[in-house]
Amino acid sequence: MSEEWELNKSSSVPLHQQIYDYMKRRIMNGEWPVGTRIPAQRELAAKFQVNRSTVVYALGELSADGLIDSKVGQGTVVANNTWSLLAAASPPDWNRYVKSGSYQPNIQMIQQINQAEMNSNMVRLGTGELSPALLPTDKMKEMFHGSLENKFTLGYSEPKGSLYLRERISRYLHTKGIQASPSSILIVSGGLQGLQLISLGLLHSGSMIFVENPTYLNSIHVFQSAGMELFGIPMDHEGLRTESIGRLKRQHHAALLYTIPSFHNPTGGLMSSQRRAELLTVCTQERLPVIEDDVYGDLWFDTPPPSPLKAQDRQGLVLYMGSMSKTLGPGLRIGWIVGPEPVIDRLSDIKMQTDYGSSSLSQHAVAEWLSSGLYEEHLARIRTELKYRRDYTIAILVQHYHEFAEWNMPQGGFYIWLHILRPISMRKLFERALKEGILLNPGNIYDRHDQQHLRLSYAYASLDQLENGLIRLAELIRQNLQ
Q: Among 41-49, 130-138, 261-269, 389-397, which window interacts with its own copies (CB under 8 A)?
A: 130-138
Print the binding letters for residues 247-286 with its own copies: x by CB under 8 A, - otherwise. --------x----------------------------xx-
What is each CA distance from 318 to 174, 257, 329, in whole angstroms?
16, 10, 26
Q: Are residues 40 and 31 in contact, defined by beta-carbon separation less than 8 angstroms?
A: no
DSSP letter string, 8-50: -TTSSS-HHHHHHHHHHHHHHTTSS-TTPEEPPHHHHHHHHTS
The window from 191-199, 229-237, 266-274, 380-388 that contacts its own copies (CB under 8 A) reads: 191-199
List phi, psi (to 5°) of 6.
-135, 145
DSSP characters for 249-278?
Answer: HHHHT--EEEE--BS-TTT--B--HHHHHH
Beta carbon of residue 53, minimum distance to its own copies (angstroms, whole number): 25
Within 256-373, where are the H helices?
Answer: 273-285, 341-355, 360-372
Rounded to whole angstroms, the Cα distance separating 1 from 36 reads: 11
Q: How far is the CB of 349 from its own copies (least distance, A)?
A: 5
Question: Which of 397, 434 has the CB closer to its own copies?
Answer: 434
Least spacing, CB of residue 434 vs its own copies, in Å: 17
Cα separation, 232 vs 240, in Å, equals 10
Three-state DSSP class for residue 119: coil
Rule CB under 8 A: say whether 71 interacts with its own copies.
no
Q: Is 246 in the site for its own copies (CB under 8 A)?
A: no
Question: 204: Cβ–Cβ under 8 A, 6 or more apart, which residues?
Answer: none
Q: Between residue 194 and residue 223, which ones bind its own copies under the rule CB under 8 A?
A: 196, 199-205, 207, 220-222
Comparison of 108 and 482: residue with beta carbon closer to its own copies: 108
C-alpha pair distances (Å), 22 with each of 8, 32, 370: 12, 11, 48
425 part of the interface to its own copies, by CB under 8 A: no
Q: Does 74 bind its own copies (CB under 8 A)?
A: no
Q: Please state the closest distance from residue 88 (CB atom) to its own copies, in A.
A: 8
Q: Tell which one of 76, 213, 218, 360 touches its own copies (CB under 8 A).
A: 360
Q: Is residue 340 a contact residue for its own copies (CB under 8 A)?
A: yes
- Number of helices and strands (H, E) in the chain? 16, 18
Q: Which lies closer to its own copies via its Cβ, residue 289 or residue 306?
A: 289
Q: How far is the CB of 409 from its own copies (least distance, A)?
A: 27
CA 323 to chain centre: 13
Q: Tell me: does residue 345 bind its own copies (CB under 8 A).
A: yes
Q: Which of 372, 466, 375 is nearest to 416 (CA)?
A: 466
Neighbours of 215 (CB within 10 A): 26
* Of residues 361-390, those binding its own copies (CB under 8 A): 361-362, 365
Task: Identify the sign of the CA torsion 331, 333, 334, 335.
Answer: positive
Among 18, 76, 189, 452, binds its own copies (CB under 8 A): 189
92 touches its own copies (CB under 8 A) = yes
> 109, 95 in Cβ contact below 8 A?
no
Q: Is 316 in the site for its own copies (CB under 8 A)?
A: yes
Q: How far is the CB of 221 from its own copies (least distance, A)?
A: 6
The 320-339 contact track toward its own copies, x by CB under 8 A, reads -----x--xxxxxxx-----
Our finding on whether 85 is near its own copies (CB under 8 A) is no
In residues, how long is the chain?
Answer: 482
**Which CB, 219 or 452, lies closer to its own copies?**
219
Across 365-465, the runs of DSSP E, i.e. the strands, are 405-406, 415-420, 438-439, 441-442, 453-457
Please report whether residue 112 would count as binding its own copies according to CB under 8 A: no
Residue from the set 7, 109, 116, 192 that interacts with its own copies by CB under 8 A: 192
Select the residue interacting with its own copies from 61, 69, 158, 376 (CB under 8 A): 158
Nearest to its own copies of 97, 302 (CB atom): 97
